[in-house]
Structure 1
Amino acid sequence: MNSWTANNSSVNSNGTDLTIGFTSSAIAVFLFGTNFVPVKKFDTGDGNITVVPIVKTIGLGLGLLIWASFNLLTGWASSRFGWFGIDPEEVSKPILNYIGAGLSVLSTIIFLFVKSEVQSSSTSLEVTPLLRERSVNNSENTYSDASWVDSLSPVRKRVIGCTLAVVAGIFYGSSFVPVLYIKDHGRRNGTVYTGASQFDLDYVFAHFSGIFLTSTIYFLIYCAVMKNKPKVYPEAIIPGFVAGVLWAIANCCWFIANHYLSAVVSFPIITAGPGFVAAMWGVLVFKEIKGLKNYLLLTVAFCVILAGSLSTAFSKI
C-alpha cells in the first residue's frame, strides 16, 4: 500500500512538472513571437546590434525563423552533448529527440527559400530623432534620418540579414550555458559552485543584469562611433519598453521550462515555436510574405517544425 502511494505520488508530481513546463513553453513561444510587434510600425533608427537590422532587411517573420532555428541547434546540441563544460542531458526517448532536432534543421533550410518584402519606414516630422545635433546652415552637420540598411541593394540586404540572423541565433543558443554550468557544478563537491541553487528562476536577475550591462556598453560604443549623434526616436521609446517587458516575461517562462523539462527539451520547442507566431504576424498583418509559392513553403516548413517540436516533447514523456 505504501509502495503504491509513493508511486502514485511520483506520477502525479511528474505530471505536474510536465504541465508547468509545457505551459511555460507555450507562453514563451507566443511572447517571443510577438515581442517585436510593438516596435514594428515605428522608426527605431539603427536599433540594437542585430535585431533591428534583421527586421529591416529580411522582415520579422523570416528573420525570427532563421535565428530561432540556429538558436535551437546551438542550445539543443550544447545541452544534449555537454558542450562548454556542462553535463550532457538524457531523455527517455533519445531517438525522438534526435528526430526533432533533425526536422528543425530541415525547416531552417526550407525557410531560407521564403522571400519577404520589407517596406522601409519613411521618417516624417513626427518621428524626428530625440537626440540630434542642432545646426543652422551647416551642411557638414546636417543630420540624415536614413539608416545604413536603407542604402543596401536587395541582394545585400538578404545576405546581411540572413548572416546576422545566424550569428544572433548562435549567441541566443549559448545564453543559458553559464546558468547550466553553475547548476551542474553546484551538484559536485569541491568546486566554487558547490551548493548553488538548482532552481533556474534564481538566476534571472544575474542573467538580465548581464544583458543590461552589455547593452549599455554597446550603446556607448555606438554613440562614440556616431560622434555623439545617435538616432533615438521618441515615438519608439514606449513601444520599445513594451517589447522589452514581453521579452522579459517570455525569458522567465523559458527559465521555468528549463527547470521542469530540461534544456534539451525546452530549446527545440521554445526556439522553433515563435516562428509560427512571427510568420503569422508577417503574413496576416505586415504583409511581408506574399505569393502562392511562399505560402506553400511556409506551410511545409510549419508542418516540419511542428513535427519536430512534437517529437522533442514526446521524447521527455
Structure 2
Amino acid sequence: MTNNGTDLAIGYLSSSVAVLLFGSNFVPLKKYDTGDGMFLQWVLCAAIWLVALVVNLILRCPKFWPFAMLGGCIWATGNIAVVPIIKTIGLGLGILIWGSFNAITGWASSRFGWFGMDAEEVPKPLLNYIGAGLSIVSAFIFLFIKSEISNGTCSMDTTPLMTEQAINTAQDPCPDYSWVDKLPTVYHRIVGCSLAVISGILYGSTFVPIIYIKDHSKRNDSIYAGASQYGFLSGVLWAIATCCWFIANHSLSAVVSFPIITSGPGFIAALWGVFIFKEIQGLRNYLLMILAFCIILSGTLCTAFSKI
C-alpha cells in the first residue's frame, strides 16, 4: 500500500472511531440529572484535559501556542448549550442538527480558506461540493422532525429533615430545577433547535486556530514556523474522539473529514434516541429521518470519494 493509501486508511479508520464516540458521548447525560449543565461542563472539560495531557506527553510535549487555546474556548462555549438542547429536543435530534451545521461551517471555512487559513483542494471538487450540499439539505430536514421529551415534574415523595418558617409564602415550588426544566413546553422546540444551530456553528469553528497554526507553520516568515502538525493541546479537547479527528484532519484534510465526522455521529445518536430513549416516534418522523439518513450517507460517500 502506498503512503497515500496508508494515509487514507488511517484517516477513514480514525473518522469511524470519532463518529462512534461522538455519537455516544452524551448518552450518560440521559441517565442523570444535569441541572443547567454548568457543573457538567466543568467535569467534562476536566476529563478531556486529562486525556489531552496524556496524549501531549506521548507526543513528547511539542511547543505550545496559546493561540490554539482559542479553539478550546470556542468549543466550550458551544458545549454550554448541550444540556438545554438535550432536555428540550433530545439527544438524537440535537446532535443531528448541530452536527449538520458543524459540518457546513467546518467544511466551508476549510474549503474557501476563511479566517486566514489556506484554501484546501481535493482531486474531485464536484463530489466534494455535492457532499457538502447534501449535508445542508439534511440539516433542514432534521428541523422538521419532532421528538418526544418527557417533562420533569417536582417530586412530592421527599421532605427535608429540617424546616424553618418561610418568610415569603410565594416560593418557587421547584427551587432546585434549572431554567430549562421550567421552560414552557411550547418553547422547547424553538429554544432547542436555535441552541443546536448556534452550537453547531461554534463547533465548526473549533479547529480554525489549530489549522491556522498548521498552515502558517510551513512559512519561514511566520511566528508559527516549525509548529507541530499534530496540535493536540488546544485548550480543551474532546478526548479520544477529538484525537481521532485530528488524525483524520491530517490524513484526509479538514475539507474531507469535517462532513464525515460531523454528520456521522447524528446517525449513532439517533439510534440511541429511537431504540433506547424513544425520543423520536411516529411514522412521519421515521420517514423524515430515513430520508435524512439517506442524504447524509450519500453526502458522506461523495465527500469520501472526492479525496480518492
Supply the AA of the counterpart residue of 1:259: H
User: SS of the counterpart of 1:165?
Assistant: helix
> Which residue in 1 is equivalent to 2:254?
263
- Superposition pairs of residues 165-244 of structure 1, within 5 angstroms: 165-198=196-229, 200=230, 203-208=231-236
Q: Distance in 1 between matches of 2:5 and 2:158?
A: 51
Q: Distance in 1 between matches of 2:186 and 2:301?
A: 35
Please tell me whether residue 30 in structure 1 is matched to residue 15 in structure 2. Answer: no
Displacement of 1:38 in angstroms is 1.1
* Higher helix proportion (structure 1 or 2): 1
Please tell me whether residue 273 in structure 1 is matched to residue 264 in structure 2. Answer: yes
> Which residue in 2 is equivalent to 1:79?
110
Displacement of 1:156 in angstroms is 1.1
Please tell me whether residue 299 in structure 1 is matched to residue 290 in structure 2. Answer: yes
Q: What's the TM-score once normalised by structure 2's chain length?
A: 0.80
Structure 2 unaligned runs (5+)?
39-79
Q: Deviations over 1:235-288 (max 9, x none)?
A: xxxxxxxxxxxx411111111110101000000000000011000000000000
Please tell me whether residue 149 in structure 1 is matched to residue 176 in structure 2. Answer: no
Report the number of matched residues.
262
> Which residue in 2 is equivalent to 1:217?
none
Structure 1 unaligned runs (5+)?
1-10, 129-133, 212-246
Supply the AA of the counterpart residue of 2:12: F
Supply the AA of the counterpart residue of 2:201: I
Displacement of 1:153 in angstroms is 2.6
RMSD across aligned positions (CA): 2.1
> Which residue in 2 is equivalent to 1:91?
122
Q: Distance in 1 between matches of 2:156 and 2:25?
A: 27
Displacement of 1:138 in angstroms is 3.9
Q: Deviations over 1:49-78 (max 9, x none)?
A: 200000001111111111011100110000
Among all aligned residue pairs of Structure 1 and Structure 2, give the percentage whose two residues are the same amino acid. Answer: 65
1:250 to 209, 221, 241: 241
1:44 to 17, 34, 42: 34
Supply the AA of the counterpart residue of 1:205: L
Q: What's the TM-score once normalised by structure 1's chain length?
A: 0.78
Displacement of 1:122 in angstroms is 5.1
Provide closer, same or farther for how the CA distance between residues 138 and 204 of structure 1 changes in structure 2, counting only shifts above 3 A.
farther
Please tell me whether residue 287 in structure 1 is matched to residue 278 in structure 2. Answer: yes
> Which residue in 1 is equivalent to 2:11?
21
Tell me, yes or no, if the aligned pair for 2:97 and 2:143 is still in contact at 8 Å.
yes
Provide closer, same or farther for how the CA distance between residues 21 and 297 of structure 1 changes in structure 2, counting only shifts above 3 A.
same
Tell me, yes or no, if the aligned pair for 1:269 and 1:312 is still in contact at 8 Å.
yes
User: SS of the counterpart of 1:137?
Assistant: coil
